[in-house]
Amino acid sequence: MNFEKTEGLMEHCELEQRRSDAAGQDKCYSKARLRDEFRMKPRPGAVPVKHYKNEFGKQFGIYRISDCIPIQERQAAPSKKQLQARAILAVKAKLRSKLAKASAIACQWLDDDPLVLDTETTGLGYDAQVIEIAIADASGKVLFDTRIKPTVAIEAAAQEVHGISPDALINAPSWPEVANRIEALLSGRTVIIFNASFDSRLIAQTAGAFGLETGWWSTCTTRCAMHLAASAYGSTNPYGSISLADATSAAGVPWTGAAHSAAADTLATVELVKSIARVKPALDLELSKLLEEKAG
């Protein structure tokens, strides 16, 4: 603690002691003495205990100090330099935040000209298969969107989520009929997926059910938008992750189409990553302007 702060603290303690002593002795004072000696004023509605006349014949009241309250010290308005310094510190603090750090990562992902993918499946287990897949570019253009006929039944819980029934897949192609197209789009690309480990596993399981290899998948660089969002906004469940619905809500991202369709979820993921990516450049620009104003 510096000298000025120490001195101020001592002065405050002395003032509190004087107030306490005067209140203990049930002392009464005029408004002028209350202000000058105790930095106090009568509380609203307080009534003088007596009235006196001064040497000029003007009447004044005296008040019990116990009926009075401290006067709030008015602080001087901050200067322009102080306001600038506060604004600069605030932006620098935001740049150190988890959201800004996640934003820097999202910017790197988008620099790689990524594709974004989402699937709907028959379930969550190790025999589950993909029944819908959509792929979009970072501009939000859907490049591929199809349903797929599986070789296993759709679990009731899964159907309740995405609403895709077995009847809706009767005329859908099987995985071997679309695999080449998916491979051609994704091979060697950066692929952003919300819950990348799950979709990666389901793609491998689906191909395996038809005896197809997915070695080409290892040429892809997968990025998990779920982990990115959890680092940006915090987890919303006991597993340390976040749902796409919660992530888009935190980012203020509107949905295009119904949730839990592959295309809608893909586009929501695109907008989520782009929204996170906008944070750091905006803060960098704000800081640059503030520093220019300060220098000017």
- How far apart (Å, rounded) are the C-alpha atoms in residues 103 and 226? 13
Please give the pLDDT value at position 266. Answer: 97
* Domain contains 80: no
* Domain contains 85: no
Please give the pLDDT value at position 5. Answer: 53
Per-residue pLDDT at 1 exceeds 50: no
Q: Taking residues 95-99, what's their average pLDDT?
A: 94
Q: Looking at the structure, do residues 25 and 105 belong to the same domain, yes or no?
A: no
Q: Looking at the structure, do residues 281 and 161 belong to the same domain, yes or no?
A: yes
Q: Looking at the structure, do residues 220 and 136 belong to the same domain, yes or no?
A: yes
Rounding to the nearest 10 degrees, give the CA dihedral for residues 78, 84, 85, 87. Answer: 110
Which of 18, 40, 70 marks a domain boundary? 70
pLDDT in tens, 59-78: 889 999 889 998 886 667 88
Q: Looking at the structure, do residues 53 and 162 belong to the same domain, yes or no?
A: no
* Confidence tier at 295 by pLDDT (50, 70, 90): confident
For 254, the 3-state DSSP assignment is coil
Q: Give me 183's structure tokens.
A: 């491979």
* Domain contains 25: yes
- Pick from 36-45, 86-95, 191-200, 248-257 the range whose average pLDDT is largest: 191-200
* Confidence tier at 207 by pLDDT (50, 70, 90): very high
* Domain contains 53: yes
Question: Could you tell me if residue 271 is left (phi over 0), alpha (psi between -120 and 50 degrees) or otherwise beta?
Answer: alpha
Per-residue pLDDT at 247 exceeds 70: yes
Tally the domains of the chain.
2
Rounding to the nearest 10 degrees, give the CA dihedral for residues 127, 132, 137, 139. Answer: -130
CATH number at residue 206: 3.30.420.10
Please give the pLDDT value at position 288. Answer: 95
pLDDT in tens, 251-282: 999 887 777 799 999 999 999 999 999 999 99
- How far apart (Å, rounded) are the C-alpha atoms in residues 64 and 42? 8
Please give the pLDDT value at position 22. Answer: 86
pLDDT in tens, 123-144: 999 999 999 999 999 999 999 9
- Residue range(s) defining the domain that contains residue 241: 92-286
Q: Looking at the structure, do residues 133 and 196 belong to the same domain, yes or no?
A: yes
Q: Looking at the structure, do residues 64 and 96 belong to the same domain, yes or no?
A: no
Q: Looking at the structure, do residues 44 and 174 belong to the same domain, yes or no?
A: no
Mean pLDDT of the chain: 91
Q: Looking at the structure, do residues 26 and 106 belong to the same domain, yes or no?
A: no
pLDDT in tens, 169-204: 999 999 999 999 999 999 999 999 999 999 999 999
* Domain contains 86: no
* Domain contains 118: yes
* Confidence tier at 83 by pLDDT (50, 70, 90): confident
Rounding to the nearest 10 degrees, give the CA dihedral for residues 225, 229, 235, 238. Answer: -10
* Domain contains 296: no
Q: C-alpha distances in angstroms, 13 versus 8, 40, 46, 54, 210?
A: 9, 15, 26, 32, 82
Q: How many Cβ atoms sit within 10 Å of the Cβ of residue 72? A: 8
Q: Looking at the structure, do residues 114 and 202 belong to the same domain, yes or no?
A: yes
